[in-house]
Amino acid sequence: MPDNPDSRDALTTRQLPEMQLSTAENPLTAPRPPPDGLNAAQRAQHRFSVKGNAIITGGAGTLALEAATALLEHGVSGLALWDLNPDQALPAVTALHKKFPHVKIITEAVDVRSEAQIASALADTVKLLGSVDILCCFAGVVGCTHAIDMSADEWRRTHDINLTGSFLSAQAFALQVRTQGTGGCVVFTASISAHHTNYPQPQAAYNASKTAILSLTKSLAAEWSGLGIRVNSLSPGYMDTILNEGEGLKRARDTWNSRNPFGRMGHPWELTGPLVMLVSEAGRYVNGSDIIVDGGAMVF
């Protein structure tokens, strides 16, 4: 609240900006049922078809590469993998080129905390692929530090990457989609950590950043509806990746598994079904939603 009395008085005369929601007449958000004349197999294929070009941030990570494979399998036309160090995934990217030789797959070195790097990567992506239609945000970090011992730098870094990086990537994407006039979709990566407190590890900064992703998802789903941009999120449970490997994490893994109805962590492939639904024709009326993919851990 401003301390200057004149500034306080100005508050009574200010005007708030207002969202412009979509309408039933907007072709970017209108129903798009399958064309007539398709047989059952063709209708099924159409339902989960993925169209256009996709950007995946954190593109060198295990979950992102699994997501990339799924999008390619379901028909994405072009793919841009953004990562702080995309070269670390060179063998996996080479394998994708061989498996999908007809699709243009590019990599960009991007720190999602940097507006300038995002803008440069987006310009390159549009130049090479022609347009952008899908954004999947997988870039993120996690730290397990007791809150009472956590430095401000660690808190800020976690939020800068997980939350601000997701927002900046989505904002740049939305500006480009508005220029194109095509509509599009964004999928953020939240977490079960956004829904309850993890145990036994302390990770307050990560949990807070992922909870904020849920709110950001709903806000942007409303604000960008008029642009034909759907915004949703996925909340993975514990996934069987290198981040959860090692003898030092055995006690934690045993605890996580004992609290899961399935008694195990998820396989990265198990996240791709919900993702494909959200970015395909099947998810056309899904907006502002979060899908929990955790084997039922949240039932307790």
Catalytic annotation, pick one of 22, 77, 193, 206 = 206
Annotation says 238 is catalytic:
no
Q: From residue 110, how far is each of 12, 68, 81, 87, 203 by CA, in Å?
A: 43, 17, 9, 12, 25
Which residue, among 174, 287, 278, has the nearest Cα to 231 in the 3D structure?
287
Annotation marks residue 191 as catalytic = yes
In degrees, rounded to 5, the angle at the alpha carbon of residue 167 between the alpha carbons of residues 104 and 284 is 60
Sign, CA dihedral 187-164-63-155, equals: negative
Among 22, 193, 209, 210, the active-site one is 210
Q: Which H helix or E strand runs over 92?
A: helix 90-99
Q: Which of 77, 191, 209, 233 is catalytic?
A: 191
Structure tokens at 72: 């390619």
Which residue in the block uniquely carries the two structure tokens 């399935």?
262
**Nearest CA to 178 among 133, 220, 218?**
133
Q: Note if 199 is an active site residue.
A: no
- Residues annotated catalytic, as ranges: 191, 206, 210
